[in-house]
Structure 1
Amino acid sequence: MKKNQLLLAFYGDDFTGSTDAMEALARSGYRTVLFLEAPTQDMLQRFEGIRCVGVAGTSRAKSPAEMTKEIKPIMERLSRLDAPVVHYKTCSTFDSAPEVGSIGEAIRTSRELFPGQKTVSLLVGAPALGRYTLFGQHFARMNGEIFRLDRHPVMSRHPVTPMHEADLRYHLRMQLDEEIGLMNILELEGEPEQVGKRFREKRKEEPAVILFDVLDEARLALSGRLIWEAAEEGERFVVGSSGVEYALTAFWEKAGIASSGHSQPKTASISPSDRILAVSGSASPVSQRQIETAMEQGFHGIRISPVSLADGGSLPQEMLEQAIRLLNSGESVVLYTALGPEDEAISETRKRISDEGIAPSQVGEHIGRQLGRWTKHIMQQSGLRRVVIAGGDTSGFVTSEMGIYGMEMLLPISPGAPLCRVYAQDERMDGIELALKGGQFGGPDYFAKVRDAALE
């Protein structure tokens, strides 16, 4: 085996989802580095034993034209890496719409880079995250209960991409008007050779996409085998959630495909932090509960005003100085833009940003870049070395403002939201510990768990 023989390259449509995919690979021992732009071979050689590489993007918050501009050069670079599988990573709740974060547009843009590939495999379910697909219908767990996606308390009311259709084939057809097949749960039953024959027969019909049902770990591993075998036959480009990574690692382990021998960057130990900064741009009920719980556990909460978010010309000095003063006194701080989806600050913020002449499709980027500039300022003034960013749509813009070029998992905290080690050219930022979590991830005490995370 070559020193850095890649198995997989992926692009994540938001940052929190990208760390989710990285965690799925790293926890199985496959060393994975997540970059903020497509890496060169020289960059990859810095990381001994790397088996998988990812690029964290922001396409989920963009219009189709903006998506194409971002995705195409990155996917072109990834397609030229010597990786058998190239994955466009979506959210496990398939957040998307024709006008923003279009997965159909991502498929149209990317598949032309894989000449000769007629069919794209699509796998969205991930049992480890409480995500399941049955006869094309998608389900997601929340607070211990499983909801069909169009009845999910959060996803059916998502402020940007509300999910009104649970059948992923119909939802995707609104973005990609082409044939979408299904490898249903019954067709995934039986001996692997028998199931493989069924899958090959479906591929012969050359649908644009074949969606996999996902219910349990056994059939997920079998789906991983089918995706890997199709890649060996030239169908390298796949789409879906971190379920793709969970499926492939399950198959790789059964097939004896070697891992890196270690799943995290070499470090003597990871110590708990006496103080952290949590920054939330999420309006989900899950994030709301996490913010409220953190404040109950001693975090000092600071609400970010809509006026500050809208004003891109100056720093909110009073708020920043308050946060720095508290951190320097040993307190942990949570900055937040909203408490749940009903918070009146959401509509006020959107109105004020609109009044500044910023288009609705640019709101997420505007908020994210504001939060990123403020986060970096606070960290540099306080000497802080551990931070949490909550909110999938804004986290990518936050991290880009922080001057980071790569990340690697240090410790799992909650499925889909690990603690990472940051790589940056700026010595002040290099080596900081960063946790990125989407709005639906983590338990109520997630922020405290990040603060207290340790490894001897």
Structure 2
Amino acid sequence: MSTTTARPLLGCIADDFTGATDLANMLVRGGMRTVQSIGIPSSEVAAGLDADAIVIALKSRTIPVAEAVEQSLAALAWLREQGCEQIFFKYCSTFDSTGGGNIGQVSEALLAALGGDFTLACPAFPENGRTIFRGHLFVQDQLLSESGMQHHPLTPMTDANLVRVLQSQTHLNVGLLRYDTIAQGAEKVRGRIAELRAEGVGMAIADALSDQDLYTLGTACADLPLLTGGSGLALGLPENFRRAGKLRDLDASKLPAVAGGEVVLAGSASIATNGQVSAWLEAGRPALRIDPLALAAGEPVVAQALAFAKNNEQTVLIYATSAPDEVKAVQQQLGVERAGTLVENALGEIAQGLRQSGVRRFVIAGGETSGAVVQALGVQLLQIGAQIDPGVPATVSSTDEPLALALKSGNFGGRDFFSKALKQLAQTGGAQ
């Protein structure tokens, strides 16, 4: 029997914007009405919340450790004030980290603030080809360190052993919850967790080869105050609340209508996004590439992009996506941080200009890009709708003039994602 309370049950903190949307998508699929906040909500926004789960999207993946911890603890305090019963710290399914953190440090700080002594770390997302075996993360059939992620411009992942990676980021002892224990069911997992605790382990990497493993982990960890991982680990959490009679019976994915113009903005340099840009170009659809060197030289790139969009009757793609060697060449000239900031700021300004010209539906590729664009558009809260591709749902903003957005992690989606997302946003918005 479900209740009618609007008090949130699950409070989530994500270290980037598309990761937050990915997690919210998973919760909606499980029947939890979910909203995503861009940063900690203002008191005005918070007053109108009606959700089973709240996901706070931070931009803390690559910032200094102390800042990431401070922001995450502030988000935790706000979620606890709302009455959330369990906390979930979401990071990328490829365990994206800088050389210094921040996954371990943030997890440790959250665990201490909650008074806990143990949590799991499981970035696995089998539906998107991310699995963990004996503590090693695979992307499809390749080790993380051989998957292309070793070339990531901000968070190069050169070690697939997650126990070793996580241990380098925390003072707590890191252990391993193996696949053969998980295969025996939730009771065996609970027993192994008790053993790990007795051994002085504060965090454990959990293997996961299938969605069933994630459901088992979710069930076994219903009473842990904190869970950490990719969105896949959230698969089993809605059912815990449903069994307790706390979920309402409603269509969690229903969104309001949004009509208007549309655009695709891409800033990610990932292999998946490169493929999606190539598919768009191969189809002969209009596209304009943003050159970071032109931005650095002070050329009117934003004005040129806005004119390009205005003068095209078709939906346009505006992109800064490049192959890894091109990205490195630009970074050598401009520096990693400056190159990324120039592109993000430009795409944010372009989004603002497009909105002023009547664009209301945005498909955005890349976590950093998505963060820059939603901030530029003044979006504070997103209602999460149906899935477009694994890990990427349609969303609608709570702004006075609602916007329909698809916020895609760089590594997610098939080659046809852009056209598929545009079609779903148009259907969501009732603008066939």
Same fold by TM-score greater than 0.5: yes
Alignment match of 1:435 (pick from 397, 400, 406): 406
Q: Deviations over 1:236-272 (max 9, x none)?
A: 12211102211313545566652451213453x678x
Aligned residues of 2:190 and 2:221 also touching (Cα < 8 A): no
Q: 1:69 to 1:31 in 2, by over 3 A?
A: same
Measured after TM superposition, the shift of residue 432 of structure 1 is 1.1
Superposition map of 1:340-351 within 5 A: 340-342=323-325, 344=326, 346-351=327-332
Superposition map of 1:49-448 within 5 A: 50-99=51-100, 102-115=102-115, 117-141=116-140, 146-152=141-147, 154-229=148-223, 231=224, 236-252=225-241, 257-267=246-256, 276-310=262-296, 316-326=302-312, 330-342=313-325, 344=326, 346-351=327-332, 353-354=334-335, 360-361=336-337, 363-381=339-357, 383-424=358-399, 427=400, 430-448=401-419
Identity of aligned residues (%): 28
Measured after TM superposition, the shift of residue 5 of structure 1 is 2.8
Q: Deviations over 1:10-46 (max 9, x none)?
A: 1111111111000001122210000012236763452
CA distance in 2, matches of 1:349, 1:431: 36
Measured after TM superposition, the shift of residue 120 of structure 1 is 2.1
Aligned residues of 1:79 and 1:114 also touching (Cα < 8 A): no
CA distance in 2, matches of 1:192, 1:91: 25
Q: Which moved more, 1:309-318 or 1:215-224?
A: 309-318
CA distance in 2, matches of 1:17, 1:192: 27
Aligned residues of 2:189 and 2:217 also touching (Cα < 8 A): no
CA distance in 1, matches of 2:80, 2:198: 24
Q: 1:108 to 1:311 in 2, by over 3 A?
A: farther
- Counterpart position of 1:35: 37
CA distance in 1, matches of 2:410, 2:266: 9
Q: Deviations over 1:354-375 (max 9, x none)?
A: 4xxxxx4465344323211221
CA distance in 2, matches of 1:66, 1:194: 38
CA distance in 1, matches of 2:22, 2:158: 25
Measured after TM superposition, the shift of residue 137 of structure 1 is 1.0
Which secondary structure state, in structure 2, belongs to the residue aligned with residue 61 of structure 1? coil
Measured after TM superposition, the shift of residue 313 of structure 1 is 9.9
Amino acid at match of 1:204: A
Aligned residues of 1:34 and 1:408 also touching (Cα < 8 A): yes
- State yes or no: 1:6 paired with 2:8: yes
Amino acid at match of 1:450: A
CA distance in 2, matches of 1:180, 1:399: 36
CA distance in 2, matches of 1:6, 1:380: 35
Q: Deviations over 1:388-409 (max 9, x none)?
A: 1111133212211110011122
- Counterpart position of 2:18: 16
Q: Deviations over 1:148-190 (max 9, x none)?
A: 21221x2122222222211111011222243101111111233
CA distance in 1, matches of 2:324, 2:249: 42
CA distance in 2, matches of 1:391, 1:304: 15
Aligned residues of 1:184 and 1:212 also touching (Cα < 8 A): yes
Q: 1:78 to 1:254 in 2, by over 3 A?
A: closer
Q: Which moved more, 1:256-265 or 1:372-381?
A: 256-265
Q: Which moved more, 1:240-249 or 1:194-203?
A: 194-203
Aligned residues of 2:292 and 2:342 also touching (Cα < 8 A): no
Q: Which moved more, 1:202-211 or 1:190-199?
A: 190-199
Q: TM-score, normalised by structure 1?
A: 0.86
Q: 1:263 to 1:175 in 2, by over 3 A?
A: same
Measured after TM superposition, the shift of residue 109 of structure 1 is 3.3
Which secondary structure state, in structure 1, belongs to the residue aligned with residue 175 of structure 2? strand
Measured after TM superposition, the shift of residue 292 of structure 1 is 1.5
Work out the number of aligned pairs and report it: 425
Aligned residues of 2:95 and 2:123 also touching (Cα < 8 A): yes
Q: 1:416 to 1:189 in 2, by over 3 A?
A: closer
Amino acid at match of 2:422: R
CA distance in 2, matches of 1:63, 1:361: 13
Q: 1:252 to 1:312 in 2, by over 3 A?
A: farther
- Counterpart position of 1:357: none
Q: Deviations over 1:395-453 (max 9, x none)?
A: 212211110011122331111112211122xx3xx311111111111111111111222
Amino acid at match of 1:123: C
Amino acid at match of 1:148: L
Please provide the CA RMSD for this pair: 2.5
Measured after TM superposition, the shift of residue 198 of structure 1 is 2.5
CA distance in 2, matches of 1:288, 1:364: 16
Measured after TM superposition, the shift of residue 213 of structure 1 is 1.1
Measured after TM superposition, the shift of residue 206 of structure 1 is 3.4
Which secondary structure state, in structure 1, belongs to the residue aligned with residue 180 of structure 2? coil
Q: 1:266 to 1:413 in 2, by over 3 A?
A: closer
Amino acid at match of 2:29: R
